[in-house]
């Protein structure tokens, strides 16, 4: 990379603006590199120490040391709860603080410097190791994580079982021994489940600084939440089942189930928490979720009951073991709540010939995103409760004040949205309903911290149906960067698109590549292979696939708050960091005041009540202390919008990507790049072999957006190729971009 590329200008900066808030200026690159290395090293040490402590906790030696630590700190103002917070939750929050510092030092949207080596490198996190198993497509890195969690559960269960057997007297009857084992192992299964719960809430914190630091977007992290959810609920179910069997053997099942102790665990609270967890678990199973997504979505809001009654069940000091990750989730949830309250202006909307709806939403200039981002959209005229995720179909370089999404009609909600926007009864004349109003709210955008599509010189983009949407954004992004001379590595791009019917082909025409970057073929090689699977012959109308889209633009009234809110975890790093730090310090202050002026002086002893106070402190610290920062953040956002003169929103440069298309795409140029095959499916073995010979010894990024079967087919071929590749062939790196709640 050229020497002058180390100026640390933002990757996704505003066009022509060298004062973007993401700039890291007048700081030596050496100082920045050393600082980042130091922060990463500290994070690694803290995380390894914390994970090792949790992993080794079942051992007698670590348990004895931890018990001595609790006895030593028992007399402090914070008591045992404070000690457990320090050992189990403080490391997570410390990592979050260091991650914030790392993101601020790194600046916004840095494109990593290209390594000097010209040879491709094998990467564990992009190599699909397991494909057709119960976990879907699993990379080698993810497999290592699965093994570690399974090993921990087996090791912990075995260690606790051996300790229980060692403590058992031979003089006890078989029945007494059975009751003893059920009691001890039921307790220990709950402890193991609580350790897994400590990780459960991290993947679903959409704008979490931890996910941003390790560059795992929410769409990928959701599957980790699913895996951990299954494991955690199995452990908690066994925990409850062991105690139920023990109480049944003692003849006290009903009495124990409804008991609510002041000192010790409150059984009834545990039953309520477990029932809420089971309802969430059962309705999240793939069959139920596909049958009735709304049932899954609404039932999952029982997480509030699950967490609150768990705090009642185990009290404050045991709950403190998992409090850190839960606190990070509360931080993210409150920020999402604040962002989603704002009404977003729908600049325009139109219905394409295939029935897909394109919506263009306004946004402030300082709200960044990349071409692989996605948003959650709510339309209040359809439902006040439903939020649906959609991939962004526009590049951040298409314009400063807007963001576009493509919405395919796949269910009741999307069908009603299309009916709301345009008259579906007149497909040849998609006229605007004169009184149509759409009140939209948005959460996000979320996505990779670093747009990984810019990290490869060679790209293969594999899409199924509407999965083309993010790739349109990638195409636009690459062409803008090539035209403007911005950092951009891709020089060879192959799009493989599988569609059911030819009426979906006009989606490709929403990006006018020649208008964005004239003579782009001289600078970047783009090829498009389309497979129409359910039609054996092309339509009779010649050129149907690439003719200009005939659909009306549907403008909407301008509300007072025209742009989506910038109050999002993936937004400004400084404000986001202040929010996390102030909320955490606020929690420490409230917890200290609670203990010093209420719990200790008045001798509050009830476990369930102290658990309630603990949860109230967590929520109050976020709402009060974090809310103050959010308020100032909102004021800063409004002032920035005024400075950017965003109120005159003129759909800036929307024409470039066809969103408000005043210019028609160039059908002839697009047809030259495109090969359409009817009645066949992509042969990925043939495609990868052809690209291997054409591109040679290089890294090739393969991004798949489509159904699980498509992902599995691509992953299977990449794994096969990696295991049998010749030394002069490229290494294919698997990435998926499919969102599945």
Q: What is the pLDDT of residues 418-472, one digit of tens each?
A: 888 765 444 444 444 444 567 889 998 988 878 888 889 999 999 998 899 999 9
Percent above pLDDT 90 for the chain: 44
pLDDT band at 9 (very low <50, low <70, confident <90, very high): very low
Of the candidates 179, 576, 555, 185, the residue with the CA atom closest to the CA atom of residue 346: 555
CA distance linking residue 344 with residue 559, whole number of Å: 8
Give pLDDT, residue 577. Answer: 92
9-13, 19-23, 516-520, 719-723 — most confident range: 719-723
Specify burial of residue 60 (Cβ count, 10 A radius: 0-12, 13-18, 19+).
Answer: exposed
Residue that is written with structure tokens 């990750």 in the block? 325
**pTM, to two decimals:** 0.87
CA distances from 713 to 126, 168, 201, 449, 489 (A): 15, 53, 31, 27, 27
Q: What is the pLDDT of residues 110-152, one digit of tens each?
A: 555 554 456 788 899 999 999 988 888 999 999 999 999 999 9
Q: Is the pLDDT of residue 16 over 70?
A: no
Q: Is the pLDDT of residue 101 over 90?
A: yes
Q: H/E element holding 227? A: helix 218-250
Cis peptide before 445 (omega within 30 of 0): yes
* DSSP-derived 3-state class of residue 462: strand
Q: Is the pLDDT of residue 15 over 50?
A: no
List the alpha helices (DSSP H) in 116-208: 140-167, 174-200
Farthest CA pair distance, the chain: 90
Task: Pick 519 or 335 by higher pLDDT.
Answer: 335
Q: Is the pLDDT of residue 268 over 70?
A: yes
Q: What is the pLDDT of residues 541-576, one digit of tens each?
A: 544 444 444 444 444 444 444 578 888 888 888 999
Q: What is the pLDDT of residues 597-623, one digit of tens each?
A: 999 899 899 999 999 999 999 999 999
Query: Residue by residue, what is the 3-state secondary structure of 678-689?
Result: ECCCCCHHHHHH
CA distance linking residue 634 with residue 632, whole number of Å: 5
Q: What average pLDDT does the structure give for the chain?
A: 83
Q: Is the pLDDT of residue 517 over 90?
A: no
| Average pLDDT for 410-418 | 84
Give pLDDT, residue 396. Answer: 87
């Amino acid at each position: 990379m050229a020497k002058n590329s180390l100026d640390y200008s933002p990757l996704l900066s505003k066009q022509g603006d060298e004062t973007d808030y993401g700039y890291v200026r007048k700081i030596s690159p050496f100082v920045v590199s050393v600082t980042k290395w130091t922060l990463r090293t500290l994070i690694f040490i803290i995380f390894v120490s914390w994970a090792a402590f949790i992993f080794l906790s079942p051992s007698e030696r670590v348990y004895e040391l931890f018990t001595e630590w609790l006895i030593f700190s028992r007399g402090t103002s914070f008591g045992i709860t404070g000690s457990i917070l320090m050992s189990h939750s403080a490391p997570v929050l410390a990592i979050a603080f260091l991650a914030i510092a790392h993101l601020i030092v790194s600046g916004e949207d840095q494109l990593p410097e290209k390594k000097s080596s010209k040879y491709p490198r094998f990467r564990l996190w992009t190599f699909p190791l397991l494909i057709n198993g119960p976990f879907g497509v699993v990379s080698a890195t993810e497999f290592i994580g699965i093994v570690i969690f399974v090993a921990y559960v087996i090791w912990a269960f075995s260690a606790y079982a051996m300790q229980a057997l060692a403590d058992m007297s031979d003089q006890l009857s078989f029945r007494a021994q059975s009751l003893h084992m059920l009691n001890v192992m039921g307790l220990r299964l709950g402890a193991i489940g609580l350790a897994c719960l400590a990780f459960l809430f991290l993947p679903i914190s959409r704008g979490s600084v931890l996910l941003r630091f390790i560059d795992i977007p929410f769409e990928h992290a959701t599957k980790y939440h699913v895996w951990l959810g299954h494991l955690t609920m199995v452990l908690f179910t066994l925990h409850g089942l062991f105690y139920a069997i023990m109480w049944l053997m003692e003849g006290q099942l009903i009495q124990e189930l409804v008991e609510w102790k002041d000192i010790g665990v409150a059984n009834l609270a545990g039953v309520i928490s477990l029932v809420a967890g089971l309802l969430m678990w059962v309705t999240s199973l793939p069959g139920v979720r596909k049958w009735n997504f709304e049932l899954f979505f609404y039932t999952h809001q029982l997480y509030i009951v699950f967490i609150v009654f768990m705090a009642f069940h185990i009290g404050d000091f045991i709950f403190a073991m998992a409090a850190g990750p839960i606190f990070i989730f509360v931080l993210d949830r409150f920020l999402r709540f604040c962002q989603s309250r704002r009404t977003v202006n729908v600049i325009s909307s139109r219905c394409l010939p295939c029935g897909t709806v394109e919506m263009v939403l306004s946004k402030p200039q300082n709200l960044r995103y990349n071409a692989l981002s996605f948003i959650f959209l709510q339309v209040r005229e359809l439902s006040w409760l439903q939020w649906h995720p959609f991939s962004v179909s526009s590049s951040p370089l298409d314009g400063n004040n807007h963001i576009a999404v493509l919405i395919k009609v796949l269910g009741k909600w999307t069908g009603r949205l299309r009916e709301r926007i345009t008259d579906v009864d007149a497909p040849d004349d998609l006229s605007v309903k004169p009184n149509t109003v759409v009140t939209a709210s948005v959460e996000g955008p979320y996505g990779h911290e670093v747009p990984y599509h810019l990290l490869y010189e060679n790209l293969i983009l594999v899409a199924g149906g509407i999965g083309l949407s993010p790739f349109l954004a990638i195409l636009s992004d690459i062409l803008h960067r090539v035209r403007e001379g911005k950092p951009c590595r891709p020089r060879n791009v192959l799009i493989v698109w599988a569609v059911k019917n030819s009426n979906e082909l006009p989606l490709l025409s929403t990006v006018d590549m020649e208008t964005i970057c004239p003579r782009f073929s001289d600078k970047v090689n783009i090829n498009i292979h389309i497979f129409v699977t359910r039609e054996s012959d092309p339509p009779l109308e010649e050129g149907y696939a690439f003719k200009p889209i005939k659909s009306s633009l549907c403008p909407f009234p301008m509300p007072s708050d025209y742009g989506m809110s910038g109050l999002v975890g993936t937004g400004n790093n400084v404000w986001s960091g202040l929010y996390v730090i102030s909320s955490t310090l606020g929690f420490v202050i409230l917890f200290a005041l609670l203990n010093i002026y209420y719990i200790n002086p008045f001798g509050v002893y009830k476990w369930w009540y102290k658990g309630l106070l603990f949860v109230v402190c967590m929520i109050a610290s976020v709402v009060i202390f974090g809310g103050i920062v959010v308020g100032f953040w909102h004021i800063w956002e409004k002032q920035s919008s005024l400075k950017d003169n965003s109120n005159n929103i003129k759909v800036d440069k929307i024409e470039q990507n066809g969103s408000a298309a005043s210019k028609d795409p160039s059908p002839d140029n697009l047809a030259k790049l495109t090969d359409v095959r009817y009645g066949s499916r992509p042969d990925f073995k043939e495609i990868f072999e052809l690209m291997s010979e054409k591109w040679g010894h290089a890294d090739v990024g393969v991004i798949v957006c489509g159904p699980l079967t498509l992902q599995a087919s691509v992953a299977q071929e990449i794994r096969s190729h990696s295991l049998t590749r010749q030394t002069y062939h490229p290494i294919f790196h698997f990435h998926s971009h499919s969102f599945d709640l």
